[in-house]
Structure 1
């Protein structure tokens, strides 16, 4: 669904409510090849003109299927999140009226594409750590001959390095402990 910025700017202070089912499966898989499937997104919210400009506030519910980051088994992740963004014309050069924490989207050709906004925000919401239910419940991490996975890998390696004594220097270990 697309709207022109001029058209939405004319709604004034009366919120323009919408509820849509947005299918972004094809375009989102092109942008992130790890996504194996995605359900149509349920999107509901409103657009309103406030003192800063056109504010879009909407809720997105979608299920994304991705491989586990540990075992590559398929995991379906439900994503439910809210988006609050300001939309401005590409002709707007002064953005100083916005706070640093405001999300401001500059619209090319002054066209607001809801599908694009939903797609961008879904990609931002995908977690970096994806585990199957079994992997979440298990305390055991994968390991093999000479290797193991650890959650805090650097600290464990430093501790092992500290505890391991170089055999060439083993005799010097007790050098200062001798009482003469």
Structure 2
């Protein structure tokens, strides 16, 4: 069965994920649902929407267009899992109902990257700072912090632990 439809998932997404999704346009979905051997249902869909999500740096709204494809299999019981590869997306159907809206909403949420920045934040690269605090990017060294590194006095005695241990073995 082929389909080409527009879904309004705004309320569902904003209710389930109020901190991650600020707004969503109507979701265009097109694809095919077919019954496979053994009664399994295969859903292949192309999804297109625009999400508004908070910036991970400033929480300012960021418009995020998403367009992606999904392939999911729906089976009646866990016994059918052995028919599929570990890389296949297989869902066990409960109450004989496949909730396509929930599947699309979940996949939309998975499209949000870990780091979302406004165009201004991307262009300037300036990180926010305040009195006594700064924001740093994980993996980037702060040269000032490296030079002012102090040793916890309780652990100072351990500094030469391995040196003295090696001399005893000789």
Q: TM-score normalised to the size of structure 1?
A: 0.73
| Aligned residue among 32, 51, 57 for 2:44 | 57
Residues 18-167 of structure 1 aligned to structure 2 (within 5 Å)? 18-34=3-19, 35-50=21-36, 53-89=40-76, 91-152=77-138, 156=141, 160-164=144-148
Structure 2 SS opposite 1:61: strand
Residues 5-20 of structure 1 aligned to structure 2 (within 5 Å)? 16-20=1-5
Alpha-carbon RMSD across the aligned residues, in angstroms, is 2.1
The list of structure 1 runs, each at least 4 consecutive aligned residues, that deviate by more than 4 angstroms after superposition, is: 159-162
Instruction: Sort the Cα spacing of 1:36 and 1:139 in 2 relative to 1 into closer, same or farther, 3 A.
Output: closer
Note the C-alpha offset of 1:165: 6.6
Note the C-alpha offset of 1:18: 0.6
CA distance in 2, matches of 1:41, 1:77: 13
Structure 2 gap ranges (5+) = 151-170
Structure 1 gap ranges (5+) = 1-15, 167-180
Q: Deviations over 1:25-56 (max 9, x none)?
A: 11111110122211110000112344573211
CA distance in 1, matches of 2:88, 2:23: 31
CA distance in 2, matches of 1:161, 1:150: 11
How many pairs are equivalent?
Answer: 148
CA distance in 2, matches of 1:49, 1:108: 17
